[in-house]
Copies of this chain bind each other. A is one copy, B any other.
Amino acid sequence: MLLLTVDEQSLEPIYRQIVAQIRDKIAGRVLLPGERLPSTRRLADQLGIHRSTVATAYQELWALGFIDLSPGSRPRVRDRMQFATAADRGDKGLVDWQTVVSPASEAVWRTYRRLDPLGKESTPALINFASMNMDSRLFPLESFRACLDRAVKNHGDALLGYGARAGFPPLREYIARRLQSHGISVTADEILITNGSQQGIDLVFRMIAAPGKTVAIESPTYDYVLPLLRFYGLRPVEIPIRQGGMDLGALAAAIAQERPVLVYTMPTFQNPTGISTGQAHRERLLSLCEQHRIPILEDGFEEEMKYSGRVVLPIKSMDKRQLVIYCGTFSKVLFPGARVGWLAAEKECVERLVAIHRFSELAPSMILQAAIHEFCQSGHYDRHIGRMHRAYRKRMQTAVRALSRHIDPAWAEWTEPSGGFLIWLKLKPAPHPPPDWKTLLAAHGVEATTGGSFFYGETPDTYLRLSISPLNEEEITEGVRRLAAALRQAHHPD
């Protein structure tokens, strides 16, 4: 006889008490596979409960796979496949993922493990010139919190659905107006909201990727673009970057030889070099691409951070023939965690990108977009940009002054950028260059990004990229002092 008890005072429903006890008996091998359980009538009588309660318990045990039910016969204990517990999982499962994934995916995985990914825990004691995070001390979080709350209050239910495919319409309207202040004339339906500008770049690459296609890129370029190109099987054609920007003679030659399907460029505060091109360079680049009908992906990731006063307008501002896909972001002014960026391009191009985005993740979340829109349209965004300009103008001056004071010209050279957050140090040959700059820098209490990751081919690490974005003046000054000590050691070890 099956010994079960029920407690009618318990909060646990009676049928669940029965399920739990029978499960335990099966797990404890008190009930063995093949054994019969009592009929519903019999068990109900025995426990003094309603027959339907037993039936419910048996249904649940059947659904969970512990018993077999067949009409007209008593339930039978099943030889159920066991639950997987934490203890079951060894270090390695059955699947050899390397054989399952694509070669491109395997390569990205290897790159990922080699690079220091963004978001890596940095050692608090080190002064961090490697991070591109913004200094959150400058961000008016309380105002943003109020905007977030107001956005949900005002738009309510409208934010709960999948929402507009290309993004929250009022934010697209705002961005279109905002772009006008950079000389760009586009309408809201030429704008697609993305999860940061990185997703914009990813979508453009996904749209064009096919075997044998090439993309012209600046060399060096943004380190996170290189693994993406590799992943999508797009072959990069590296165009060297000079003091004035991408070498346009080299680009013309590359166009003739390699027929790139896209030119990727950061004309303003290029990452990693900090170089901005002049008006004439932008015109020549646009003319060259117009002549060959090659779309340009213009990455304006730090467009808003022109704090030096001299404003060169984006290439997109002259784009009558609609071959420029412009990508922008709120990450480099507000905060990276916003994950809101945008693409502005010919309407057909935007719609093609929407189609890819649609099937790959349906739509961007409306709530953050509505909050950012609230922040922008209530004037907080403009005020914040003003604050950022004042702060970073001083910080960049501090950085350049400290570099001039502490770094011997025999150790490194650099150019003062007219905005943004990046300084690119070209290291001079040292009599005893360290095998690993990262280690030497860490030993002196400072972090920076070594140059190799910004080149497609293997390149000796003869550059350092300094980002001042997360640091205040005091930290910058101390950081440069530590950097100088590391360079001194490479040049004058004793």
Q: Chain A residues in contact with chain B, CB under 8 A?
A: 56, 59-60, 62-65, 78, 80-86, 88-89, 92-97, 100-105, 108-109, 111-113, 117-119, 133-134, 136-137, 139, 141, 144-145, 148-149, 152-153, 156-157, 159-165, 183, 185, 187, 194-196, 198-199, 202, 206-210, 213, 224, 227-228, 231, 261-262, 278-280, 282-283, 286-287, 290, 293, 295, 309-313, 316-323, 335-339, 346, 348-349, 351-352, 354-356, 358-368
* 10 closest A-B pairs by CB: A93-B322, A65-B279, A112-B355, A94-B321, A102-B210, A160-B335, A199-B361, A339-B365, A63-B310, A84-B320
Query: What are 11 A-B contacts with C-beta separation under 8 Å?
Result: A63-B310, A64-B313, A65-B283, A78-B280, A81-B287, A83-B183, A100-B261, A105-B206, A160-B335, A224-B362, A338-B365
CB within 8 Å for A210 and B103 given contacts A317-B83, A360-B198: yes
A12 vs chain B, min Cβ distance (A):
14
Most chain B beta-carbon neighbours within 10 Å: one of A141, A149, A261, A365: A365
Expressed in whole angstroms, the Cα–Cα distance for A336 and B153 within the complex equals 18
Chain B residues contacting A283 (CB-CB under 8 Å) are 65, 80-81
A306 vs chain B, min Cβ distance (A):
9
Q: Name 16 extra pairs, CB < 8 A, besides A94-B323, A160-B337, A163-B337.
A: A59-B310, A65-B278, A84-B317, A85-B185, A95-B323, A102-B213, A112-B359, A119-B165, A148-B148, A148-B367, A159-B337, A196-B362, A198-B360, A202-B361, A224-B359, A339-B364
Interface pair B335/A161, CB less than 8 Å apart: yes
Expressed in whole angstroms, the Cα–Cα distance for A156 and B60 within the complex equals 45
Chain B residues contacting A336 (CB-CB under 8 Å) are 160-162, 362
Interface pair A337/B119, CB less than 8 Å apart: no
Expressed in whole angstroms, the Cα–Cα distance for A261 and B96 within the complex equals 11
Chain B residues contacting A60 (CB-CB under 8 Å) are 309-311
Expressed in whole angstroms, the Cα–Cα distance for A112 and B367 within the complex equals 25
Chain B residues contacting A320 (CB-CB under 8 Å) are 82, 84, 88-89
CB within 8 Å for A161 and B89 given contacts A60-B310, A148-B149, A355-B109: no
Interface pair B160/A141, CB less than 8 Å apart: yes
The residue in chain B whose Cβ has the minimal distance to the Cβ of A295 is B95
Most chain B beta-carbon neighbours within 10 Å: one of A112, A156, A199: A112
The residue in chain B whose Cβ has the minimal distance to the Cβ of A371 is B367
A91 vs chain B, min Cβ distance (A):
9
Interface pair A196/B100, CB less than 8 Å apart: no
Chain B residues contacting A323 (CB-CB under 8 Å) are 93-95
Chain B residues contacting A339 (CB-CB under 8 Å) are 361-365
Chain B residues contacting A163 (CB-CB under 8 Å) are 119, 337
A142 vs chain B, min Cβ distance (A):
9
The residue in chain B whose Cβ has the minimal distance to the Cβ of A316 is B84
The residue in chain B whose Cβ has the minimal distance to the Cβ of A311 is B63
Chain B residues contacting A355 (CB-CB under 8 Å) are 108-109, 111-113
Chain B residues contacting A92 (CB-CB under 8 Å) are 348
A263 vs chain B, min Cβ distance (A):
12
A103 vs chain B, min Cβ distance (A):
6
Interface pair B199/A360, CB less than 8 Å apart: yes
Interface pair B118/A133, CB less than 8 Å apart: no
Chain B residues contacting A348 (CB-CB under 8 Å) are 92, 97
Expressed in whole angstroms, the Cα–Cα distance for A144 and B160 within the complex equals 11
Chain B residues contacting A195 (CB-CB under 8 Å) are 195, 361, 364-365
CB within 8 Å for A104 and B148 given contacts A59-B309, A64-B312, A163-B119: no
Chain B residues contacting A363 (CB-CB under 8 Å) are 118-119, 337, 339
Chain B residues contacting A365 (CB-CB under 8 Å) are 195, 337-339, 365, 368
Most chain B beta-carbon neighbours within 10 Å: one of A84, A112, A338: A84
Expressed in whole angstroms, the Cα–Cα distance for A227 and B355 within the complex equals 10
The residue in chain B whose Cβ has the minimal distance to the Cβ of A190 is B89
Chain B residues contacting A224 (CB-CB under 8 Å) are 359, 362
Contact of A207 among B102, B157, B338, B359 (CB under 8 A): B102
Interface pair B136/A293, CB less than 8 Å apart: no
Chain B residues contacting A366 (CB-CB under 8 Å) are 337
